Structures are given as C-alpha cells and as structure tokens.
Amino acid sequence: MKASTTTTPRRPLGLWLGLALLGLVAIVLATACGDDDDVAPTETAPATEQPAAEPTATPTAEATAEPRAEDGRLGQLHANAAAFAYQAGKRGGTLTFAIISDPLTFNLAIANDATSSGVLGYLFEGLTEVSWLTNEVEPSLAESWENSSDGLSWTFRLRDDVRWHDGEPFTAQDVAFTFNQIIYNDDIPASSRATFTYRFLNEAGEWQTARMSVDVIDDYTVRFDLPVPFAPFLRAMGTPIYPKHILEQAVADGVFAETWGLETPPAEIVGTGPFTIETYEPGRQVVLKRNPSYWLADDEGQQLPYLDSVVQLIVPDIEAALAAFRSGDTDIFGIPGKDYAEVSPFQQEENFTIHRRGPGFGTTFLTFNQNPGTNPETGEPYLAPEKLAWFQTTEFRQAVSHAINRDAIIEGVFDGLGYPQWASISPSAGDFHNPEVRRYEYDPETAKSILDGLGWEDQNGDGFREDGDGNPIVFTIVTNEENSIRTEALALIREDLHAIGIDARVESLPFGDIVAQLTATYDWEGVIIGLTGGTEPHGGINVWHSSEPLHLWNPNQSEPATEWEAEVDRLYIEGSQELDHERRVRHYHQAQAIAAENVPLIYTVLSERLSAIRNVFGNTTPTLYGVFDVRFLYRLDE
C-alpha cells in the first residue's frame, strides 16, 4: 500500500496566472458575464493525478461550434500553446486594466466574489499551480511530491527559497496552519472548506464527513493523509497558503473573519506572490507593485516578475471599461460580443489584437429563491409562502426556461458571439461537459401550456396569471447594475416572461448588495448572476452540494430538501473519489442531466471569449486556457 510514486515535475518556468480560474478553486460569484480570464490570476492548479492520471481536458465538438468562425480555431489554440517558448524579457513598465467593482475584502480565505479573488490572486500562491498553456499541474511553493499507491497519503517537499512579503521564511508550518486553523476552522467561513470536506457512507448507509490530516514533517516537508481517495487532489493543492506568523493571533482571538478588511493598510496584506498591494483607492484603483524578493527567475537567472506594477482601474460599468481601453488608458480588455464589430476594425490603428477563444468557462443564469427559512432576527420568512411555492415548483422553472429566447439574447446582446447554455459545465471544460442534457428550446406556447397545467391562469383579464389560490404571480428579478450585458439580457427575459403571463419586475443593484442577499440576508426573489468556472468539475461542489453556502437557491441544508438534490450530492461526492477518468466523467454527466431536468439554475448564454491585448507585450499567445503568465509578461515599448 505504501509503494510510492515520486513526482518531481520540471517545467518551463512561469506556468502561472493562467488567466482563467482553471484550478480546483471554489467557484465564486462573478461580477461580469462570461470569463474575465484575460486579467484574473488563478489561485490554484489543475492536476495530472497520481497514481491514476487524469488527462488534460479535451474540449468537445460542441465547444468548437462557434458562430461566424472558421473551422480549426480550437486546433489553433492548442498549436499556439505547443509552439510557445518564453523569451527573456526586461524589467519595467505597468500592466493596466479595468474592473467594474471594488473588491469586497482583502481576506482571500473568505472571499466569495471574483473581484476580490482577482486582486488577491497576485499576492497568494499554493503548493501547485496551473499551466495556462497545457492545463497541467506544475509545482509552485512545493518543488516535488510523492504519494502512496492507494492515493491516500501525499508528501510534499517545499521550496526553501520562498519568503513572505515581510521577509519571513515560508515553511511547512504555514501550510499546516492554513489547513488546520483556517480552512478546517468551523468558526471561519472559509470558501475552500467544501473542497476539502470528504464524505463517505458508513456501514449503516449514512453519509459521514471527515477531514484530512495535515502534519509537519520538518520545516520544508508536509504530509497530507486523506480519509478517502480524492481524484483532483493535486489540483486542490493550488489553494492559497497564508502566513502563520501574521494571522495566528487573529485566529486565536476569534477575529479572523474581520481581519484583512478593505480598511487594512496594504502593507499588512502579506503573501508570497509576485506582487503586493501598494495602494487601494476605493472607486478609483488598486495598484500592485512588484515583489522584489520573489522566488522565481527566468532561464537566464533574471528575477521575476518583469513588470514593476499592475494597476486595476475601478470603473462604474462595462461601457466605461471599454472606453478606457479604446482611449489607451488600459492594456487589456475582454470585448463584449455586442462591441466586437465596432471595435475590431480599429485593431491596427489603436495597436491591439483581439483573440477569439471560444465559449467562456463561467456561467450566467436566472435562479429563484427556494429558501424556506426565516430571518433569525425578525422571525419572518425570507419569502412570502405563495412565492416560495411557485419557485419550488419544477414545472414553473421549466416553463420559464422554455420562455427565454436565448437566440434573441445572443443576437441582441452579444451580436451573435455567444452560445445557448444548457449544461452546468461549459463545453470548453472538455469531456466533463455533457452535451446531451435536456434542452429548453424557445417555445412560449409550451411554456404557457405548462403553466395552464398548473392551474395558473389569467383570472381577471389583466394579462398576467394568478396561481390556483388567486395570488398574482408577480416577483422581482435583480442583477448587478455595473454589468450592462446582464441588465440588457434581463430586459429581454422580462419581455419573454410577460409574454407568457408572468409579471416579472426588474431591478439593478450594486454587485456587493447582491452578494450579501445571496450569501447572508437571503432576502431576494429572483436574480441573474454568474459563477466562475474551470476544467475541474469538483470546483462546483460548493454550489451543487446541498449543504454548501453557494447552493444559491436553498443553501446550507442539513439534509437534502429533494430527492434529486440528494442524488446530485452523491454524484459529486463519488465523482471526486473516482480515480478512473471515464467513470468520473459519467458521474458528472449524470449530475448535469439531473440539474438540467430540475433547473434550479436556468442557464442563459455563454459568451465568446474575445481577449483584446495591446501589442506592446512580450511572452503572450492565445490558448484555450489563457493569454499570458503575468510574471513573464514584459513591455516591448519600455
């Protein structure tokens, strides 16, 4: 059982910041539509598993069925990756891009939004990291590892040349602290806890939970012992590591969740990554400066990163972000489909290139609140009883899905550069994507027939339906005001719902307010929102397991509320523990099929990834997983 396989990967340096959240990171709420993977550093690493190797995901044929695109784009993205070689760069310069929301926290361990993660991903690293070229696991803070033949024991040898931003050495004590005192601390709402909560059936056929042990062997060796096999374990080892000497007292005092808030002086946010926070000006910008003691060097021995700084300009909306790019104030931008035709002709004149990279990994969907709970302070239910009954009715959600004209959204909002989404996993994620799930083609007559069958008809002639008890079917759907793509899509969906007799109202709110409603106050009815995504389906465990906080429609269940949720729970658990790749795929295909049948999340449209980058940078190439590694990025015009 302990015949070990030693893995000591040697890679082309710098396979990091793959610009999409491709590793096994907890899925988080996304401010913008699709994937802002042109600028968002990853915190985790995808894996090639040992002892049972997990192949790199190969996108399905559906992923290549791109509208208005020549054949072979997928092949070209892979060819770009295969042909790429890093060039020695030069120090200096800045990368600037726009974001449409302030970060909500500087505490990455509890962050559940993509903006905060996108800032803090430059500061923190895990034991492994992701290749933006190949989507394979690579060493990061760990230089090598070995595992037992049963996959239950893993020993990592850490780099001995890494220092925290304040100069203190990084050691195995920090790794043990991160897992034992932060991630596994029940008093801390750690966003990655779901990833490392292992579930199994006991002899009585009841689900039990267990945690792995994390033990320090010496200053630069740490061992993980798992209670069950875990297929994406190496991918999971990309979870960020935090400094024990800085945070241990906050944990002991019970104030960790209030630590590293936005009012914290930037110098106190200490990681091991290539950049630190120099300044944060709310509503204006976040400035990251080069870590002069970063551990990685290029092949010529030149210390990385090359860039002196990364500036994230905070703008009010997508239109302002586009204007900043067109004016030359920013260097990189994810072009919305609706703007592609207008912007594309200016590529030569304004010195940038747009790379088309297929469907995004993230998702955008409409969901309804099915939470039967009550406000602990007021005792009032989160939802009026009649609305809870509507939203819990599967046929209602199916009717809504049939009512949504996704093609109209693609044409009207994305100018044709989008894809109807039916499955919870993007086709860009490869064979984990199930292309055979139930589809809800645009069919308002079917939607009306479903509602008629429920006895929900227009009883007073006002054009809108009432339920069987005479309650007018009226509710409010919100989305974030910074995102014009979502607000435009919501306007179209509102018209679609009105057409079948549903009185849907719409409201736009700040992104932070929506995150609070979804994760804390639960006082919402319907929402159009998005989630980040990646190539490893277990990253969605915090959404799809009924006990988890991002199980948005009815979070934190002590027992699954429905039989289908219990089955999805089982499939996600067993899928994570299955070491045979083909059998793993079948688990997640089945989970997607069940989700599509019950539509707790009514998926809308996947955007085409249109990555625009100024032609002033070296070490870039468009791949399926990213465009560059920011550590190796350098300016050609400096």
Each residue of 267-288: pLDDT tens digit?
A: 999 999 999 999 999 999 999 9
| Least confidently predicted of 189-203, 229-243, 501-515, 592-606 | 189-203
Please name the residues in contact with 398: beta carbons below 8 A apart, sequence gap of 6 or more: 440, 450, 599
Strands 213-218, 207-210: pairing is: unpaired
pLDDT at 482: 86
Q: Pick 33 or 481 by higher pLDDT.
A: 481
Strands 601-603, 332-334: pairing is: unpaired
Neighbouring CB atoms inside 10 A of 72's CB total 10
pLDDT band at 2 (very low <50, low <70, confident <90, very high): very low
Residue indicated by tokens 């926290």: 105
List 617's β-bridge partners, or say none. 635
Q: Which segments within 371-454 are labelled E, that is strand?
A: 418-420
Averaged over 119-125, what is the pLDDT? 97
Nearest to 523 by CA among 392, 364, 384: 384
Q: Could you tell me the residue ranges of all domains in the chain?
A: 94-105+262-358+611-635, 128-253, 363-535+601-608
pLDDT band at 48 (very low <50, low <70, confident <90, very high): very low
pLDDT at 129 over 90: yes
CATH code matching the domain that covers 363-535+601-608, chosen among 3.90.226.10, 3.10.105.10, 3.40.1260.10, 3.30.830.10: 3.10.105.10
pLDDT at 75: 86
Is 140 in contact with 156 (CB distance < 8 Å)? no
Please name the residues in contact with 426: beta carbons below 8 A apart, sequence gap of 6 or more: 63, 359, 360, 361, 362, 363, 433, 533, 606
pLDDT band at 79 (very low <50, low <70, confident <90, very high): very high
Neighbouring CB atoms inside 10 A of 229's CB total 17
Strands 128-130, 198-201: pairing is: unpaired
Ramachandran angles phi, psi of 512, nearest 5°: -60, -35
Give the percent of the chain with pLDDT over 90: 81
Q: Pick 53 or 410 by higher pLDDT.
A: 410
Give the 3-state secondary structure of residue 276: strand
pLDDT at 73: 77
pLDDT at 205: 81
pLDDT at 31: 55
Averaged over 218-244, what is the pLDDT? 96
Strands 142-147, 153-158: pairing is: antiparallel
Each residue of 612-634: pLDDT tens digit?
A: 999 999 999 999 999 999 999 99
* Separation in Å, CA 396 to CA 286, 370, 402, 453: 44, 12, 10, 10
Nearest to 36 by CA among 126, 113, 104, 135: 113
Each residue of 321-333: pLDDT tens digit?
A: 999 999 999 999 9
| Least confidently predicted of 35-44, 146-155, 442-451, 480-489 | 35-44
pLDDT band at 533 (very low <50, low <70, confident <90, very high): confident
pLDDT at 14 over 60: no
Same topology between domain 128-253 and domain 363-535+601-608: no
What mean pLDDT is reported for the chain? 89
- DSSP for 466-503 reads B-TTS-B-EEEEEEETT-HHHHHHHHHHHHHHHHTT-E
Averaged over 221-248, what is the pLDDT? 96
Q: Pick 71 or 259 by higher pLDDT.
A: 259
* Radius of gyration of the chain measured on its C-alpha atoms: 24
Averaged over 348-364, what is the pLDDT? 93
- CATH no. for 94-105+262-358+611-635: 3.40.190.10
d(CA 16, CA 127): 12
* Separation in Å, CA 53 to CA 1, 164, 237, 517: 18, 33, 16, 41
pLDDT band at 23 (very low <50, low <70, confident <90, very high): very low
- CATH no. for 128-253: 3.90.76.10
pLDDT at 33: 52
d(CA 143, CA 227): 25
pLDDT at 27 over 80: no
For residue 466, with 0-12 CB atoms within 10 Å meaning exposed, 13-18 middle and 19 or more buried, which class applies?
buried
Find the helix packing angle between 484-499 and 406-414, rounded to 10°: 150
User: Does the reported pTM lie above 0.85?
Assistant: no
